[in-house]
Amino acid sequence: MEQKDYDVILDSLAPTKSRLEVLFRQAGDGFIQVEYGREQRADLLDSFRIGTVNANLLEKKIPGLIETVPGIRTNLFHFEPEILRPQDLIQAIKEEEHAVVDVEDIELESRVIHLPIAFEDSETKKAVAKYVKEARPDAPNVINGYNLEYIAMCNGVSADEVKKILLGTEWYNSGCGFWPGGGFFWPMDPRCAIVVPKYNPPRIWTPEGSVGIGGPCVFTYTTATGGGYQLFGRTIPTFQFSQKHPLFKETPFLYRNGDRIKFHEVSEAEILNIYAHVHEKTDYSYEIEEGKIQIKEYMNFVQSEAVVKGAEEFRKKQAKGAMEAPKL
Amino acid sequence: MLNIINGGIETIVEDWPGRLGYLGKGMAASGALDNVSLGFANLLVGNPTGEAGLEIAGGYFEATFTEDAVMAITGTDMKPTLNGDPVDMWTSIMVHKGDHLKFFHFGKTGFRSYLGVAGGFDVPKYLNSKSTCIFGNYGGFKGRKLAPGDLLAFGQPSSPLAGLAGRKLKKDYMPEYENEWQIRAMPGPNTCPEYVTKEGMDYLFENSFKIQHTSNRSAYRLDELTDGFFARTDGGVGGSHPSNIVDHAYSIRGALNICGNTPIILIGDGPTLGGYFCALHVINADLWKIGQGTPTRDYIRFIHCTEQEAVEARIQQKNLLSENALA
């Protein structure tokens, strides 16, 4: 049998005081993934740094570079390999990595978007029922016809506590993707860092506005689509293809990279009423605050005694829960 | 114009290379699943190879022409007829006002037919492309598959119609169709030793995988993986299944996503980002074979490929789709 080459790390940068090792991974003809470190971690500092390096690189307007897709700990580079050689692209990325300032000095533009949510509403319940019927009748993540109990079990808390956690922190968008207008949201408060496995196999259908979590990340489904996240309930539209509502006049997207969202609980009737006021009457008023994140200030919060202690206690419960919850 | 009598199983407007540059907005490139067939259909009727045509998946599409036009049909052989008579494929044909075009279902090999018309299909561009994203309901003709009563306008042909009819593709330029598709792929970004065992990677390259009935324009789902595939027991903070990862962007079109125990090729309308790792990548020049892969019948076999070979294959494909291909 011919020996196949499965080594995909094309190049790397050794770690420094201010960042992790940087790996350049082959991801196809015309794709390179830049990864921070080898460990799976969700550290907002990585995301702040990736966002900064990414913005500086895009200003260079490198010929043959089609686009970049930054995430919490990776950045995907999509390019035309007949025009731009992988080694030349890697060289350009390395230069920006060397040049970037210490991430703690950054002040980020970041809005806060307030979103109502109805927990365990009837539309997202339909998606769970359809999954059980068509994809996995014995799905261990479906308890009493829904995912909330399973999310709770995985984190060693009750379903009510899970709701409080979702409502109790701002969630930071490390970058848009997955689906038109979708953002990936991470808890700003480490005491709210719930983690769950994703559906196995994934769902074929999820309704517009579903709020879910997969791994450590919250997502609001912008239109009906498939997906693998455990569901909490339903929020209001966060995307409008028709661009009829004044908020969506310029682009169909609500979310920008670096936004924060904050949930508050309402009834299902209220959510449905808002849908009508966004999509039909187009007079719903979104609650959006302009703002900034001072990284230094945020670091002080994360490193404060109360937060460190609280997060540690939560992790203990979580470790116990993760051991007891069935795998998917 | 083309007046749709029956949209068939799924007929949509697609161009090539599709809607590039919006992965970071969560928008896949979409585009023709078989860009080679679309390219030849366009070439035959005198269009740029990336012009919008109709992608006819499965079959049973039926339409009448409300004006004279030149058309070409490529892809799988759906036994197309014009006014009830068999019509040649891989050839440009003059059609007249009132002519009735009808397709049967997909042939013994292949799954999608393409219809090109001189001038292309005149639908509005959305974000620089005429391609339909069927799962997002945008682009193409009203963001959806075609339905009875739809009227599709044609663009301006590159030259007078009479001169564009009767062009044929040379035999040796004809793509070869199989029931087991040999598809070249590059390992990465997530392989061994961290994610997949050496045996697991060998397994991907040494077996053929049946295309599942749940396959569609965003994902081609394959047979479940064997035990011993994963080199890890969980995904750390990415989730408890070993296929989980902290969410990252997917290199679409072409990423082989390991979704639980199911390998899934992410194609045209696929998700741009997610929380499962990707073990290999179907090279750009072989994406068309996925589009012709028939769910529940055909198999896919991955052939190991280097970056250099992949770039050469891209160049070869561009050369293939040129006037030299015409007899």
Kindly report the average pLDDT of chain B as a whole number.
96
Look at residue A1 in the predicted model and tell me its pLDDT: 43
* Cα dihedral value B269, A258, B21, B151, nearest 10: 50
- Which position has the higher pLDDT, B237 or B39? B39
Is the ipTM of this structure higher than 0.90?
Answer: yes
Q: Are B223 and B213 in contact (CB under 8 A)?
A: no
> Residue A225 is nearest to which of B135, B284, B314, comparing CB atoms?
B135
User: Tokens representing B169?
Assistant: 């593709």
Angstroms from B323 CA to nearest CA on chain A: 21
β-pair partners for B187: B280
User: Tokens representing B43?
Assistant: 């070439």
- Mean pLDDT value across residues B107-133: 97
- What does the alpha-carbon distance between residue B279 and residue B190 come to, in Å, rounded to a whole number? 5
Q: What is the pTM of this model?
A: 0.87
Establish if B308 touches chain A: CB-CB under 8 angstroms.
no
CB contact under 8 A, B307 and A70: no
Q: Give tens-digit pLDDT for B88-99.
A: 999 999 999 999
> Residue A177 is nearest to which of B23, B276, B314, comparing CB atoms?
B23
Reduce the DSSP state of residue B25 to 3 states and report it. Answer: helix
Q: Give tens-digit pLDDT for B239-276.
A: 889 999 988 999 999 999 999 999 999 999 999 988 89
CB contact under 8 A, A73 and B248: yes
Q: Is the peptide bond before B86 cis (omega within 30 degrees of 0)?
A: no
Burial B133-168 (b: 16+ CB within 10 A, else e): bbbbebbbbebbbbeeebebebbebeeebeebbebe
Spell out the alpha helix ranges (H) of B158-251.
Answer: 161-164, 198-206
Q: Is the peptide bond before B253 cis (omega within 30 degrees of 0)?
A: yes
β-pair partners for A196: A215
Q: Is the pLDDT assigned to residue B295 strictly greater than 70?
A: yes
- Tell me which architecture the domain covering B180-320 has in CATH: Beta Barrel (2.40)
Residues in A touching B188 (Cβ below 8 Å): 8, 25-28, 33
- List chain A domain ranges: 9-102, 109-324
In chain A, residues 293-322 whose CB comes closer than 8 Å to chain B: 322
CB contact under 8 A, B247 and A201: no
Look at residue B189 in the predicted model and tell me its pLDDT: 98
Fold of A109-324: Cyclophilin (2.40.100)
User: Tokens representing B96?
Assistant: 């007249």
CB contact under 8 A, B246 and A182: no
* Residue B97 phi, psi (nearest 5): -50, 130
* Residue B162 phi, psi (nearest 5): -55, -40
The least confident of A51-60, A144-153, B45-54, B62-71 is A51-60
CB contact under 8 A, A253 and B235: no
CA dihedral sign of residues A27, A29, A34, A38: positive
Establish if A5 touches chain B: CB-CB under 8 angstroms.
yes
In chain A, residues 229-288 whose CB comes closer than 8 Å to chain B: 241, 253
Burial class of residue A75 (count of CB atoms within 10 Å of its CB; 0-12, 13-18, 19+): buried
Burial class of residue B109 (count of CB atoms within 10 Å of its CB; 0-12, 13-18, 19+): middle
Reduce the DSSP state of residue B12 to 3 states and report it. Answer: strand
Q: Give tens-digit pLDDT for B164-210.
A: 999 999 999 999 999 999 999 999 999 999 999 999 999 999 999 99
State the 10-residue block means of pLDDT for chain A, 328 residues long: 79 93 98 96 88 90 96 96 97 94 80 98 97 95 97 97 98 88 93 93 93 92 90 97 91 89 98 98 98 90 97 96 92
CB contact under 8 A, A225 and B136: yes
- List chain B domain ranges: 2-169, 180-320
Establish if A155 touches chain B: CB-CB under 8 angstroms.
no
Q: What size, in residues, is chain A? A: 328
Task: Output the CATH code of domain A9-102.
Answer: 3.30.1360.40
- Mean pLDDT value across residues B49-75: 98
> Residue A71 is nearest to which of B191, B249, B276, comparing CB atoms?
B249
Q: Which residues contact A162 (CB under 8 A, 6 or more apart)?
A: A148, A151, A152, A155, A194, A232
Look at residue A3 in the predicted model and tell me its pLDDT: 56
